[in-house]
Structure 1
Amino acid sequence: MESSDIEHYKHRLVELRTEHRDLDDVIARLAKDPLVDELELKRLKKRKLMLKDMIAHLESRLIPDLNA
């Protein structure tokens, strides 16, 4: 893997982690609202889970292959 790829992945990880953290805050606030749109809350939780999966995938790409 080239260093430009590594830097790209690291930058993307920062973006994804920031979005994940922000979504966590929004979800926490909405969950306290008794008039919250449950469908919207589910969509946000699904997006947060997708971000978590993307983060895990990128982190695994940055770990060097020990079998090589």
Structure 2
Amino acid sequence: MSHAMLIAILMHHGGSLELPAEAFEPDALGGPDGAWHAVGMATDPDTRTVRISVHPRPDGDDGGITYEP
């Protein structure tokens, strides 16, 4: 799912997006591989948009895809 979100973001911005190098520093990512964070998606049927946001990763094995209408 993360790969699909990245592709959607890039395609929406014309196929590429420039970020400062600081965006990839461990303090910004929550570790060298970003493992401290999770991604959330929320749809708004009225505006036909999807909000993609960063959330703290749940403790343990509670990660995964959950659907909240």
**TM-score class, shorter:** under 0.3
Greater C-alpha Rg: 1
- TM-score after normalising by structure 1: 0.23
Higher strand share: 2
Higher helix share: 1
| Greater relative contact order structure (CA < 8 Å, 6+ sep) | 1
